Structures are given as structure tokens and as C-alpha cells.
């Protein structure tokens, strides 16, 4: 009887000790939560570090990053050149250019012509197919390019999902080509891609396109049509096709502007130049290159994949302006500085 009574008393003491420790733990935890909340309130209202920023980046943020990055590249090259006493200076290796095509089942010899002329030394290729691609497999270059297929999708659907910032950052430029982009390689007009890249670098064009010759479908916008005796024109508009060139450093801005549910691209080309001008804080960011024009065919292969394409495109145009009208001012400036032959 004595042992049973002793065991019962010991059990009660253990239970009392457990409850006491539980109360102390709960009290300490509540005190900890209180001080954590006080700390976050202090950070929110007083911002002691001076660098806690939220929301979209300001124009000064991006422009500072952009120009500091450019200066760092030139400073590194200069430092390498000045300190090379024992070994000769060699300039930094240039990044490649990524060429992205949007293709359908109809085989386009224009694509074969572009890849054969550009080559693989300075270019990588990714081909987006909105249908099957069995008609293309006979080309020699097909096994050397990246192929992505998704039935009945459009080009900006592909760009948003697969041309990520991580991928684009590996390249100096990103070229977006439609399958009806006809790059002339003849005695009258010869599209020398290395000359085109040199113009982009010399004039620091962040978003640009070759001018479109006034043949075939040409362009829907007068500012994008070819002008003789001109090297390039700085503009406030670059058309969404058939050939768009994007600086790899500016790609994150365009990527943010692209919408997952707006895939035709209508409205995007009205928005991207004002968006870049505002957030990159660069006066001459967009341009049309007249020195190396292209021909725009009329092979709209993706258009037939969607019912009521035109009505959908107009609806997406309206949605773009509604979503971003409060973020930046839409403007369609067709006049700007012109660089002519001397």
C-alpha cells in the first residue's frame, strides 16, 4: 500500500513539473513572437538600412545598373590591357546571339537560308513549332538546333515560357524571327549579319529591327519601312515581326512586360519601347536599321490555328493598354534622330 501511494504521489509531481515547463515554454514563445513583430514594424516604418525597396524598379535603379554594368565591361578590358606586361592583350570573348524561330508544318526555305548564312560559330538556334515538325527533319542543321513543340500555340506563348531571363542572359543579343522573314542575300541587298551586329553595338540599340522593304507584305507601319540613304533611325516603335533584335541585358524588362495569357503579341509592340525608355532611362533605346533591310513575306502560319484571330488580337491590344496605362505612358513616337550616310 505504501509503494502504491508513493508511486501515485511521484506521478502527480511529474505531471505538475511538466505543466510548469509547458507554461514557461509557451510564455517564452509568445515573448519571442512579440519582439519579432516589433522588429518588423520598426523596419517597415523607419527603414534603417535605407535600401529596403519594394514594387517595380525605378528608372534610376535600372539605368544605374545598366551603365555600371557597361562601364565594368570596358574597365575590365582596359585593366587587362594595361596590366598585360608578359602576355599580349586579347579582348574578352563575345557572347553568342540566340536566334528564335516560330515555325509551323509548312516548310520555309527562308529559315534554311538564314541558318546556312548565319552559321553556328556565333549563333545558337531554338525553333518553336506550333504543330508537328516531321517535315523539317531532313535539313542538315535540324539536329543541331533546340526544338520545342506545342500544338496550336503562338509565338509569345513560347517566348514567355521558354526564353527565360536565365537563358537570355547567356547571350549578347536575342533575335526573334518569324518564318516569313526573308533576309536578302543578293547583289542589291545583302543582309550581312555581322554588319548588323556592329550597328547594334555602335549605336547601343537595345530593341531594334531591320527596316522592311516596300515589297511583298511589307510593314503595317510607315516608320518600319525602308528609307534610302539612311543607316538607321531612332524611333519610339519597333514592330513585333518579322525580325526583332533584343539586347540580352534588356531582356528582363521585356520578359516582365510579356503576359502569360496574351499570346498574339498585339499591343506588346506599342508598349515595349515606352517601357524601356522609362525604366532604362535611355533616350535612344529603339531603332529601325535601314542599312540592312529585310522582306516580310505573307506566310502567317499561326494565324490559321486560331478561330477569330483578328478579334482576339484586338481584344489583347485593349487588355495591354488597360493593364499598363497606369504603370507608364504609352506613346507611339515615329520621329527621332536619323543617322544618314555622309
pLDDT class for 45, splitting at 50, 70, 90?
Answer: low
* Residues 158, 150 contacting (CB under 8 angstroms): yes
Task: Give the C-alpha separation, 322 to 137, whole Å.
Answer: 43
Q: Which residue has the higher pLDDT, 214 or 333?
A: 214
The pLDDT value recorded for residue 91 is 46
Q: How many other CB atoms are found less than 10 A from the CB of residue 186?
A: 7
Q: Residues 85, 90, 94, CA angle at the centre, nearest 5°?
A: 150
Higher pLDDT, 193 or 314: 193
d(Cα 266, Cα 270) in Å, to the nearest integer? 8
Alpha-carbon Rg for the chain in angstroms: 29
Contact (CB, 8 A) for 281 and 334:
no
Q: Tell me 224's DSSP state.
A: G
Q: 3-class SS at 189?
A: coil
Beta strands 173-178; 97-103: pairing state: parallel
Strands 286-296 and 230-235: antiparallel
Report the pLDDT value the prediction gives residue 138, as an integer from 0 to 100.
92
Tell me 86's DSSP state: S
Whether residue 152 contacts residue 306, with contact meaning beta carbons closer than 8 Å, is answered with: yes
- Please report the pLDDT score of residue 275 as a whole number: 86
pLDDT in tens, 154-174: 889 999 999 999 999 999 999
**What share of the chain has pLDDT > 90, as a percent?**
36
Cβ contact 309:264 at 8 Å:
yes
Handedness of CA 119, 122, 128, 133 (dihedral sign): positive
Residue partners of 252: CB distance under 8 A and separation at least 6 = 165, 168
Check residue 56 and give its pLDDT: 41
Q: Look up cell 533605346; give the residue.
A: 285
> What count of other Cβ atoms lies within 10 Å of the Cβ of residue 218?
16
Cell of 4: 502504491
Q: How many CA atoms lie within 13 A of 179 on its CB side?
A: 21
Of 252, 288, 274, nearest to 171 by C-alpha is 252
Q: What is the pLDDT of residues 99-155, one digit of tens each?
A: 999 998 888 889 999 999 999 999 999 999 988 888 899 999 999 999 999 988 888
**Separation CA 132–CA 227 (nearest Å):** 39
- pTM over 0.85? The answer is no
C-alpha dist (Å) from residue 184 to 117, 192, 240, 296, 297: 11, 9, 20, 11, 12
Amino acid at each position: 500500500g505504501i509503494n502504491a501511494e508513493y508511486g501515485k504521489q511521484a506521478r502527480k509531481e511529474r505531471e505538475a513539473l511538466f505543466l510548469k515547463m509547458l507554461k514557461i515554454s509557451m510564455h517564452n514563445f509568445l515573448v519571442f513572437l512579440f519582439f519579432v513583430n516589433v522588429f518588423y514594424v520598426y523596419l517597415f516604418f523607419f527603414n534603417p538600412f535605407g535600401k529596403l525597396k519594394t514594387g517595380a524598379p525605378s528608372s534610376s535603379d535600372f539605368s544605374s545598373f545598366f551603365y555600371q554594368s557597361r562601364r565594368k565591361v570596358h574597365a575590365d578590358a582596359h585593366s587587362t590591357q594595361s596590366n598585360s606586361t608578359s602576355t599580349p592583350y586579347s579582348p574578352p570573348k563575345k557572347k553568342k546571339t540566340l536566334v528564335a524561330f516560330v515555325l509551323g508544318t509548312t516548310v520555309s526555305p527562308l529559315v534554311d537560308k538564314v541558318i546556312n548564312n548565319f552559321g553556328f560559330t556565333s549563333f545558337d538556334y531554338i525553333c518553336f513549332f506550333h504543330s508537328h515538325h516531321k517535315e523539317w527533319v531532313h535539313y542538315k542543321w535540324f539536329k543541331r538546333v533546340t526544338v520545342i513543340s506545342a500544338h496550336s500555340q503562338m509565338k509569345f506563348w513560347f517566348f514567355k515560357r521558354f526564353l527565360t531571363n536565365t537563358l537570355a542572359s547567356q547571350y549578347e543579343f536575342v533575335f526573334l524571327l518569324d518564318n516569313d522573314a526573308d533576309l536578302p542575300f543578293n547583289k542589291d541587298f545583302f543582309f550581312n549579319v555581322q554588319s548588323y551586329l556592329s550597328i547594334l553595338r555602335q549605336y547601343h540599340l537595345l530593341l531594334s529591327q531591320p527596316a522592311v522593304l516596300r515589297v511583298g507584305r511589307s510593314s503595317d507601319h510607315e516608320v518600319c519601312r525602308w528609307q534610302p540613304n539612311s543607316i538607321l533611325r531612332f524611333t519610339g516603335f519597333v514592330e513585333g515581326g518579322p525580325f526583332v533584335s533584343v539586347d540580352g541585358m534588356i531582356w528582363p524588362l521585356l520578359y516582365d512586360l510579356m503576359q502569360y495569357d496574351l499570346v498574339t503579341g498585339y499591343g506588346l509592340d506599342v508598349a515595349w519601347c515606352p517601357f524601356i525608355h522609362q525604366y532604362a532611362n535611355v533616350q535612344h533605346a529603339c531603332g529601325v536599321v535601314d542599312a540592312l533591310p529585310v522582306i516580310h513575306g505573307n506566310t502567317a502560319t499561326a494565324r490559321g490555328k486560331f478561330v477569330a484571330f483578328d478579334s482576339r488580337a484586338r481584344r489583347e491590344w485593349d487588355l495591354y493598354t488597360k493593364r499598363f496605362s497606369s504603370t507608364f505612358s504609352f506613346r507611339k513616337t515615329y520621329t527621332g534622330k536619323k543617322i544618314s550616310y555622309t
